[in-house]
Chains A and B, each alone.
Chain A
């Protein structure tokens, strides 16, 4: 395995929000301590339910937002909280593809313009001719046709628009691609086309992927490593096979069991999680999962479990398949 292109240590992003009538403030711990590495040619998936901090994490990695605390390095360069990220070269190394293939493309620009724009802004030294050559090459690379170059986004299907978004993200030759729910809005028959494209591009350019998804079937197929998050905190992380085959955190186990499998022969008794996701403004004391956990004890209600060590890590006092 090659050396990581990005290493993050204890990344946090807190937001102050107004609460109540008296001008008090409250802290939303949107992301509360994530450590991980991104490795060229590998895919790290971040899974968890809505509001658990997946997009917050993506925004930090892409430097759209800066962490409240914690550090990360990209290609050996330190990025500190509050750093003004003016370094275009460093920024260009990380690109993002969003979920919504409809909203993320400028409707008034042709595909060609959309693809050439990042070069125009970031690499003014590249000639207009060369810009167009690279854009046309990219159109082909993502499986679109040459004549698509002069068309507008509304003329494309959802899957094609997602190809365009991927093409745009690749124009600056990034080393890291953040994929925030890239296939969630697509139909099944189109989803597999886009996933295959992402696989091929990863192989071709040795890209490191940060893959955000709530769909565990897609993650199981696509990822190498997985982080499971709950209310802003990673609760389990490790190699995909370890996490899926031998989940240690009760939440991971419940999430896996709640995911419907497209195989009627394997119809299983689901683990029934009681209750709702608590509000991130009101994270339970102790282990954040304790109000919904069937194994919770006094200890869980009072103390926060730390992340264990090793390659397959989890934060739980009474892990599954453990000695208790």
Chain B
């Protein structure tokens, strides 16, 4: 059974200029203990889709879904109070900027123990012991002493470790890491990624890694969801995704990677991601897609089968060659 199951999730923000669709009919499944990535350019709805699931979006967000279940519990029909029992305990999240997620006024130890106080029945002494254990688990040297420091006394890498310790406090079944290493230097990034993967394996928790970095995806995850302009456009296992992308956007993105360059010029994707006012009628990628035809420009595509990476495309690619799907989606 899947740990997390989301079907047809849409998030629309009310803005001064009218509604803005940040997440558009996204499906997502995660099984227990699994490692999944959501990859996409900035603004593609990666964070918003996860925040929607956790109930952490502001009131201006209008969230709809056919299904949103965590561990067999229906998140759509749950009261906010019931949801709070799950969020922060069974599901927890870490963010890109560790500094801004830690409260500067309290010691690191206080903040970890506060999470434990809210979500467990541990005694004071047990909370202290567990806090030390957590700091040790995330590789912070001299853990007992470091519990007494304030966030500003820690480097970027160390504060991200503290965030991870807090997220692990209640042994979550699912950890969502939103660009956890984007603000860090590469040698520190490598340490944090290794730590996360290590924890996913040893703790048996599922990990959703949100990133825009194809290198991080290639080196760390098993299954990948690719998002574009709020939609999930493809889903594949990582090796297949890189060797045989089925959605033209994925293919173009991979071709544009500098490490795949063969000449002085890199392949490019013309144009930019659509905004609030220029969302195309048919396929959202059609203004930039080299395979687009009139059908693409007028009719929104439906997802192909799993053998084609569920590509949201009228003409999914097979080894770079479009396979016409018009009959299916018409």
B257 near A: Cβ within 8 Å?
A: yes
Can you list, as one digit per residue, whether each of A261-276 has a CB less than 8 Å from chain B (1) or not (0)?
A: 1111101001011001
Neighbouring A residues of B188 by C-beta, 8 Å: 49, 276-277
Q: Write out, one digit per residue, whether chain A residues 241-265 have a CB within 8 A of any chain B CB (1) or not (0).
A: 0000000000000110011111111
* Complex contacts, B256 vs chain A, CB 8 Å: 188-189, 191-192
State A255–B220 Cα separation when bound (angstroms): 18
For residue A159, CB closer than 8 A to chain B, the reply is yes
A264 touches B190 (CB 8 A): no
A28 at the interface (CB under 8 A from B): no
CB distance from A119 to the nearest CB of B (A): 29
C-alpha spacing A187/B256, complex, angstroms: 11
| Residues 226-279 of B contacting A (Cβ, < 8 Å) | 238-239, 242-243, 252-254, 256-261, 264-269, 272-273
Do the beta carbons of A217 and B258 come within 8 Å of each other? yes
Contacting chain B: which of A5-13, A123-131, A193-201? A193-201
Known: A262-B215, A264-B242. A272 touches B185 (CB 8 A): no
B15 at the interface (CB under 8 A from A): no
* Residues of B with C-beta under 8 A to A260: 189-190, 193, 213, 215-216, 218-220
How far, in whole Å, are A196 and B269 apart by their CA atoms in the complex? 12
Q: When chains A and B are docked, how far (Å) is the Cα of A39 from the Cα of B12?
A: 52
A46 to chain B, nearest CB (A): 15
Asked if A189 and B41 sit within 8 Å, CB to CB, the answer is: yes
Interface of A is mostly: helix
Contact status A264-B219, CB under 8 Å: yes
CB-nearest residue of chain B relative to A195?
A: B266
Stretch at the interface among A30-38, A79-87, A165-173, A218-226: A218-226
**Contact residues in A for B157 (Cβ distance below 8 Å):** 276
| Nearest residue, chain B, Cβ from A189 | B269
Q: Is the CB of B212 within 8 A of A187?
A: yes
Inter-chain CA distance A50–B194, complex, in Å, is 20
Interface-centre pick from B187, B194, B220, B257 (highest chain A CB count, 10 A): B187
- Is A157 part of the binding interface, using a Cβ–Cβ cutoff of 8 Å? yes
Closest to A221 in B: B258
Specify which of A189, A255, A258, A262 is in contact with B259 (CB 8 Å cutoff). A262
* Candidates B215, B254, B268; contact of A193 at CB < 8 Å: B268
Neighbouring A residues of B219 by C-beta, 8 Å: 260-261, 264, 267
Q: Which residues of A contact B185 (CB under 8 A)?
A: 49-50, 214, 277
B58 nearest CB across to chain A (Å): 23
Give the complex CA separation of A277 and B193 in angstroms.
17
CA distance A263 to B242 in the complex (A): 7
Give Cα A193–Cα B267 distance, bound, in whole angstroms: 8
CB distance from B116 to the nearest CB of A (A): 27
B214 contacts chain A at the CB level, 8 A cutoff:
yes
CB <8 Å contact, B265 and A258? no
Residues of the A chain whose Cβ atoms lie less than 8 Å from the Cβ of B61: none
Cβ-based interface call for A89 (8 A): no
| B265 to A, closest residue via Cβ | A196
Closest B residue to A266 by beta carbon equals B218
Q: Which residue of B lies closest to A200 (CB)?
A: B265
- Nearest CB of chain B from residue A81's CB, rounded to whole Å: 30
Chain B count of residues within 8 A CB distance of the other chain: 44
Residues of B within 8 A of A222 (CB): 258
| Complex contact B155–A276 (CB within 8 A) | yes
B191 at the interface (CB under 8 A from A): yes
Which residues of A sit under 8 angstroms from B257, Cβ to Cβ? 188, 217, 262
Q: Are A217 and B215 in contact (CB under 8 A)?
A: yes
In the complex, B120 has a CB within 8 A of chain A: no
Is the pair A261, B272 in contact by a Cβ cutoff of 8 Å? no
Instruction: Give the complex CA separation of A195 and B158 in angstroms.
Output: 34
A258→B261 contact, CB < 8 A: no
Complex Cα spacing A191 to B261, Å? 13
* Among candidates A49, A187, A220, A270, residue contacting B258 with C-beta atoms closer than 8 Å: A220
Say if the beta carbon of B125 comes within 8 Å of chain A.
no
- Establish whether residues B42 and A187, one from each chain, have CB atoms under 8 Å apart when the complex forms: yes
A255 to B188, CA, bound (A): 10
A190, CB-defined interface residue at 8 Å: yes
A50 contacts which chain B residues (CB < 8 A)? Answer: 185
Chain A contacts for B267, CB-based, 8 A:
192
> Cα distance A272–B192 when bound, in Å?
11
Q: How far is the CA of A265 from the CA of B285 in the complex (A)?
A: 28
B253 contacts A188, CB within 8 Å? yes
Q: Is B217 among interface residues, defined by CB-CB distance under 8 A?
A: yes
Q: Which residue of A lies closest to B257 (CB)?
A: A262
- Nearest chain A CB to B79 CB, angstrom units: 39
A217 to B265, CA, bound (A): 14
Across-interface contacts of B258 in A (CB, < 8 A): 191-192, 195, 217-218, 220-222
Query: In the bound complex, how far is the Cα of B261 from the Cα of A115, in angstroms?
Result: 32
Are the CB atoms of A261 and B218 closer together than 8 Å? Answer: yes
Taking a contact as CB atoms under 8 Å apart, the answer to whether B218 and A264 are in contact is: yes
In the assembled complex, the Cα of A273 lies from the Cα of B76 at a distance in Å of 45
Q: CA–CA, A191 to B42, complex, Å?
A: 13
Chain A residues whose CB sits within 8 angstroms of the CB of B269 once the complex forms: 189, 192
Interface core residue of B158, B217, B259 (most chain A CB under 10 Å): B259
Q: With A217-B257, A265-B239, A267-B218 as given contacts, are A196 and B186 in contact (CB-CB < 8 Å)? A: no
- Give the CA-CA distance A278 to B186 in the complex, in Å: 15
Complex Cα–Cα for A263 and B273 (A): 25
For the A-B complex with A260-B220, A277-B185 known, give 6 more contacts whose Cβ atoms are closer than 8 Å: A49-B185, A190-B272, A220-B258, A258-B187, A262-B218, A263-B242
Q: Can you list 12 residue pairs at the A/B interface with Cβ under 8 Å?
A: A50-B185, A157-B272, A187-B212, A188-B212, A188-B214, A189-B268, A192-B269, A217-B257, A217-B259, A258-B187, A273-B187, A277-B185
Q: List the 9 shortest-distance A-B pairs measured between CB atoms, nearest first.
A: A260-B215, A221-B258, A192-B266, A49-B185, A187-B41, A258-B190, A262-B214, A189-B269, A192-B256
A-side interface residues toward B, CB under 8 Å? 49-50, 157, 159, 187-193, 195-196, 199, 214, 216-218, 220-222, 254-255, 258-265, 267, 270, 272-273, 276-277
